[in-house]
Each structure stands twice: as structure tokens, then as C-alpha cells.
Amino acid sequence: MTDPAPLIATEGLTKRFPVTRGILFAHTVGAVHAVEDVHLAVRRGRTLGIVGESGSGKSTTGRMIARLIDPTAGTVLLEGTDITRVGGAELRVLRRRIQMVFQDPTGALNPRHTANQIVGAPLRVHHVAGNRAVRVAALLEQVGLSPDLGDRYPHEFSGGQRQRIGIARALALEPDLIVLDEPVSALDVSVQAHILNLLTDLQRAHGMTYIVISHDLGVIRHLADEVAVMYLGRIVERAPAASIAAPFHPYTAALLTAAPGRPGAAHRRRILLPGDPPSPITPPSGCAFHPRCPKARVISGDPNVVPERCRTDAPPLDNLGRGRSVACWSPVATTDDLVGAAEAMSAAPDIARATSD
Amino acid sequence: MSVDVSILESAQPPALGTGRSPAALMWLRFRVNRAAYVSLIFLVVLTVAAIAAPLIAHLAGHGPNDLYRTSMLDSFGNPKGPTLHFWFGADASGRDVFVRVIYGARVSLIVGVVATGIAATIGVVFGLIAGFRGGGLDTLLSRTSDVVLALPVLLFAIGLSSACSNTAQGCVGGAVTPGLNLVIVIIVIFAWPAMFRIVRAATLSLRESTFVEAGRAVGMTGRSIMFREVLPNLISPVVVYAALMIPESILFEAYLSFLGLGVPGTTPSWGGMLEQASQYYTTAWWLMVFPGVFLLATILAFNLVADGVRDAFDPKATK
């Protein structure tokens, strides 16, 4: 991408999960297009936020970057080196540089291991020199836990404390990059802020790079320098966190109005997208968003009609300058009445038929 | 049996839960079950007695194969019942039934523990590998276990034991000698598939858990994840099922010995004693009652302990 030396970058990252039918004689009948042609780049010490609703492929993207699943196509570059096909001992070395924090802090910790064992595991696996007990105690302290609690089991901690243990484990190897997959979505709102502040403080102290995956724009805005919005496996918009509030993609606009506590919430109405996201097994033709897109209806002036181009051609992610890019044939203008268009779509009786082909 | 990862966090009052390992918590819950606790004490006493059998025989003054034809057989050659010196009476050869019952506990406990231990180990290791690795190895192991489970157990056991008892060398080049070894081998052959299935199924679900993925993210090898991450979470189903396998193994040894296919007559075993007793039960009730009661009590005790263990692992237990 345009950044001179990104720490981590992806080019054309694609993941398709085969859909098989039959038990005895299983055969592939299709594929879930989880991630399609994703280009990303994050500079060292910066934070990229990936936002999208469930099923948008954001977690799959994060797992591919962390090398937990293998991409179908495309490459992952760490400081310009292709790490997509690295395996075996080389991959184990690579794990020291890329770590992951998981969404479900309860499931991510082995219930049969103590906090000390969990946080010490990366040190043991990678034969890190030095006194492991001392290092583990320091790590627990760093994430705001008393080292006295190290002998306790996960079930004796609260959700927030468990996530702190998960973060301490990710920190243990002093990685360059941490992929945070929904780091606070399983936590109480009151605890979320503490964890977010902890993540900010740790980044400031260690200069790590973050990739934060969340469905919550508030979380993304709190942590990220840059935001990538995903819809149905594709990036539809990228923008600096500061300017995402003025979106170019109609889907981003809808996401923004859906986020609680958004700026100007009192006088802005929500854009309620009709229907559910289409199946990623049979993604819509052209722009994947066109069946639910209010902007397309603004252009056509009819809630049942989508412009030809939106239905036939997939829009590329166009660079608009100043760090912004959007994949839309007619980006949102401030004068567009997207709320009204979305409401008209919901009211239109044959919307499902009109958008299904 | 649930292998839910949050097994111990529910229904546990914090005062009891804090600072204790899952094992300590389980012991607390186990002790609440009075029947299981008493059964465990009985089994401990029985084990101590079995280990100290030579000492008990020495104190009683009769060895397990010492014949007291003149004192303990009447003039018609029939055995005499319990006396002050022969607590459980004598058998048809004039041997002390009490001493033989204590020695018989050795066979039952060895078979129960050793056969179950070997079968459970095989089942756990195969189940872990099949469940975790999947693929052709899984297919091979799963189909093998299906075949074993489809075999007619008693018929096969009778055939195997007669084939291996023909000569003192036994079969498989002398690896399986007649007697206790053969009994253990037969039990292991038929007992491992059940454990294998349980462990494989549990591993299949654990393999998808986030902490396994976290292990990979940290850089653990597959083997390390299998034995350090997955195996500790299998403890509850494995222990519970192994506890149930022990009485089954003891009973199976008794069947085999009753049929004359188990341990030789010179080694006292409860099954073998019951077989001899079957010829005299109209006149000598003590021959059947004492080994029978001990067999029954031991089976019952193991089953109750197994129940207690299962309850102790159950997160929904009220106590």
C-alpha cells in the first residue's frame, strides 16, 4: 500500500470455506466466501480497527493474519516478508512476533491451568531465558492483577480479570503485533473501559502494533488510528479514525447511526437497513451491499430499483486521498437522505424479490 | 458426562471455591456422599488386607493351600463349617476358606486395577490421537474399536483362554502366559474400545475450544496441546468411566474363573471358589456365602465410589 514500511500487510487475502454435503461420500457443493481480496497495511506502533457485523469476515481476517488459519489466496507480509506459507519450526518462531487475544476470555483459558501456568506457557514453549516465575509475576502486575492471584484457576476470576490474563499471555513474548479479536465484547460495559484503557497504556509502554476486531464502532474509535469497514468479506471503506464520522460508504453510514452514544445522537435518526446480510455462500452479484443499499435507492429514486452498475459490477476500493478509500460507485454525499430511503425500502412490499437476483 | 470448560465455576460458593484446586474441591464434594465414602474406606481396608495376606495367613496359622484333611473334613470327607480357628470354615480339600478369601481379594483387585489401568490408558491415548488428529488414523482406530465391540465377548474369551492355556508357554510367543496374565489380556482387549469412544468424542469437541486455538497461537506443538491442554480436561470423564470399568473387570475375572478359564485352582480367586462351592452348596453354605459376599461387597463398593466420583465431577451437584 502507500505506507512506506508497514509492519504487517495483507495482499488479496481471501478465505473460502468449502461447503460439503453427505457424510459417507462427502463432496464439495460450494464455498463460504468468508474473506475476499482484502488489502491491509498497518505501520509499526499503530492500531488498525476492523469493524463489521457478525459474518463479515473480520475475525477470519484476524485469524489469517495471526496464522491460525491458512488463506485460500493472497499473502500476509510481516515487514515485507511473506509469512503466508511459513510452517513448522519457522512458524513457531513467528509466533513470538504475532500474538492474539480472544473474544471469549473464559473459553480462551484452560480451566485446568492456573493463571501462572497460562501466562507462563508462552515462556515455557519458547524456552525464554530467565526466571519464569519472576517474569510471570511482572506480567500479571502489568495487566493490573496481583501476582498473589497467580495460583488461582480461571473460574476464580471475573470476566475482566480473565481477559487481563489473556492479555498478559499475549504480552509474554513481547510481540510486535497483537491481534485483538473482540477484546471486550464479552465483558460488562463497566469493565470494557478498564480493559480498553489497559490496552492503550500497554501500547504506549511497549510500542506494539494492534489490529482490533470489533463490531462496536465505539471500541474501534477508542483504540484505532485507522478503521477498515468490512461487509460480506470485503473491505468497503478505509479511513483515519478521526474522519470516519463523515463516511463515504452507505454501509459505514448505517453502522455509525446504529452505534449508541454516537456524536449528535440526539438529532440524527438511525439508518435501519432492511433485511439480513446475504448468505456468504451465494454473495450477491456486483456490489455485495446493493440488495440493502439505501444510497442505490436515492440514486434511482425508487425503493424497488437498484442502478444497473451496482447490480453487475463490484466496485473497487478507490483511494480518495488523505488516507481514505471507499468501494462504492457513488459515495455518500452529505445531502443524501439515507434514513428516508431505508425507511422507504422497509415499507416496499416486494423488496426481497427486487433485490434477490 | 459433560466436558464443559466451566465445569467448576457454577454452584460453588465463593468461600469454598477460593484458593482451592479443582481436585481439592472434588474431594470435598466426594466426602459429602456418605455411601461412597464408606465404600472407599471398605476398599482401602480390603486392599491393605490383600497386601498383608501372607501376614494374615501367618496369624491364622494356615496357608492358602495347606490341607487340613483330618481336622476339617468329617469321616465322609465332607468339609466342616466355621469354627474358632477356621472363621469361614474349610473347603472340600480341607483348606481355610477365610485365608483363601483374603488371598482371593488379591486376584480381584489386581485384575480390577491392572486390567482397567491398561485398558483405560490404551483407550485414552488412542482416543486422544484419533480425536485430535482425525483422518486415516482416526478411521483405522474407530473401525477397530467397532469390530472389537461387535465380537461376542464370552465366546471369544473362552476360545482365547483355551487356546492360550494349552501349554505353559501360553501364546503370542510366550508373552501371554495362562493364569492371571491371560485374564488381564482378555479383559484389556474387550474393555479399551468403550474408553476410546468416550475420549475420542470428548476430544473432538475440546479440539474446537478457544484455549486449544490459544495454545496454537502461543506456538505449542500438536502433541503438547493434546497432552497439556486437552488431556487435563478429560480427567472427569476418564476417571468416572475407569471407576466403572473396575467392577466390570472384577466380575469378568470371576466369570472366567467360575468357568475354569481364569486363574489356576492353586491360586485362590473368588470366582474359582464359587465354582467349587457349586458342588457342595446343599451341605456347605459357607463355601458359597463368604466369597460371594466379598465379591458382591467389592463390586458394590466400586460402583458406589464410581457414583461418588461422578457426582463430585458434576457441576450441578447441590452439595
Residue B27 in domain: no
Cα gap A302→B318, rounded to integer Å: 62
User: Mean pLDDT, to the nearest integer, of B29-44?
Assistant: 90
Cα gap A330→A63, rounded to integer Å: 32
Q: Is the pLDDT of residue A3 over 60?
A: no
Cell, residue B300 = 458394590
Which of B17, B218, B232 lies closest to A95 in CB terms?
B218
Residues of B in contact with A112 (CB under 8 A): 22, 232-233, 235
Cα gap A84→A87, rounded to integer Å: 9
Expressed as residue numbers, the domain containing B250 is 47-313
**Can you give the pLDDT at residue B218?**
93
Select the more confidently predicted residue: B74 or A328: A328
Minimal Cα–Cα distance from B11 to chain A, Å? Answer: 12
Residue B145 in domain: yes
Cα-based distances in Å from A277 to A53, A120, A309, A331: 9, 42, 20, 20
The answer to whether B64 and B96 have CB atoms below 8 angstroms apart is yes
Minimal Cα–Cα distance from A150 to chain B, Å? Answer: 10
Cα gap B248→A3, rounded to integer Å: 69
**Can you give the pLDDT at residue B17?**
46
Cell, residue B57 = 495367613
Residue B157's domain is classified under what CATH number?
Answer: 1.10.3720.10
pLDDT averaged over every residue in chain A: 87
Which of B9, B211, B215 lies closest to A107 in CB terms?
B211
Residue B319 in domain: no
- Coil, helix or strand at residue A93: helix
Q: Which of B212, B182, B189 is nearest to B123 (CA)?
A: B189
Select the more confidently predicted residue: A326 or A273: A326
**Can you give the pLDDT at residue B22?**
66
Predicted confidence band at B30 (pLDDT cuts at 50, 70, 90)? confident
Which residue from A minimizes the CA distance to B5?
Answer: A111
Count: domains in chain B:
1
> What is the maximal distance between C-alpha atoms in chain A?
69
Q: Is the pLDDT of residue B165 over 50?
A: yes
Q: Is the pLDDT of residue B136 over 60?
A: yes
* Lowest-confidence segment of A4-8, B19-23, B55-59, B235-239 by average pLDDT: B19-23
The answer to whether A140 and A115 have CB atoms below 8 angstroms apart is yes
Residue B15 in domain: no
Cα gap A300→A293, rounded to integer Å: 11
- The CA-based angle A245-A250-A256, given to 5 degrees, is 35
The answer to whether A143 and A137 have CB atoms below 8 angstroms apart is no
pLDDT, tens only, A32-42: 889 999 999 99
**Can you give the pLDDT at residue B7?**
41
**Can you give the pLDDT at residue A210?**
96
Cα gap B132→B200, rounded to integer Å: 8
**Can you give the pLDDT at residue B11?**
40
**Can you give the pLDDT at residue B225?**
94
Which residue blocks in chain A are alpha helix, DSSP H?
Answer: 58-65, 88-94, 115-125, 132-142, 159-171, 189-206, 217-223, 250-258, 294-300, 308-312, 338-347, 351-356
Q: Is the pLDDT of residue A49 over 60?
A: yes
Predicted confidence band at B10 (pLDDT cuts at 50, 70, 90)? very low
The answer to whether B271 and B257 have CB atoms below 8 angstroms apart is yes
User: Mean pLDDT, to the nearest integer, of A15-23?
Assistant: 85
**Can you give the pLDDT at residue B9?**
40
Residue B37 in domain: no
Residue B222 in domain: yes
Cell, residue B59 = 496369624
pLDDT, tens only, A290-322: 888 888 888 888 878 888 888 888 899 988 888
Select the more confidently predicted residue: B191 or B73: B191
The 3-class SS string of chain B reads CCCCCCCCCCCCCHHHHCCCCHHHHHHHHHHHCHHHHHHHHHHHHHHHHHHCHHHHHHHHCCCCCCCCHHHHECCCCCECCCCCCCCCCECCCCCEHHHHHHHHHHHHHHHHHHHHHHHHHHHHHHHHHHHHHCHHHHHHHHHHHHHHHHCCHHHHHHHHHHHHCCCCCCECCCCECCCHHHHHHHHHHHHHHHHHHHHHHHHHHHHCCHHHHHHHHHCCCHHHHHHHHHHHHHHHHHHHHHHHHHHHHHHHHHHHHHCCCCCCCCCCCHHHHHHHHCCCCCCCHHHHHHHHHHHHHHHHHHHHHHHHHHHHHCCCCCC
Contact B6 A155 (CB under 8 A): yes
| Identity of the amino acid at B283 | T
Cα gap B151→A180, rounded to integer Å: 52
pLDDT, tens only, A22-34: 777 778 888 888 9
pLDDT, tens only, A234-263: 999 999 998 888 899 999 988 888 766 555
What share of chain B has pLDDT > 70, as a percent? 89
pLDDT, tens only, A145-173: 999 999 888 988 999 999 999 999 999 99
The answer to whether A354 and A266 have CB atoms below 8 angstroms apart is no
User: Mean pLDDT, to the nearest integer, of B252-268?
Assistant: 83
Q: Which residue has the cell 510367543?
A: B173
* Lowest-confidence segment of A63-77, B77-91, B145-159 by average pLDDT: B77-91
Cα gap A168→A144, rounded to integer Å: 10
Does the predicted TM-score (pTM) go above 0.95?
no
Predicted confidence band at B315 (pLDDT cuts at 50, 70, 90)? low
Residue B38 in domain: no
Cα gap A200→B255, rounded to integer Å: 69
Interface with A, mutate which of B8, B20, B211, B230 (most A CBs under 10 A): B211
Residues of A in contact with B229 (CB under 8 A): 110
Contact B217 A66 (CB under 8 A): yes
Q: Is the pLDDT of residue A140 over 90?
A: yes
Residue B240 in domain: yes
What share of chain A has pLDDT > 70, as a percent? 94
Interface with A, mutate which of B21, B25, B210, B230 (most A CBs under 10 A): B210
Is A153 an 8 Å CB contact of chain B? yes
* Number of neighbours of residue A160 by Cβ within 10 angstroms: 19
**Can you give the pLDDT at residue B272?**
85
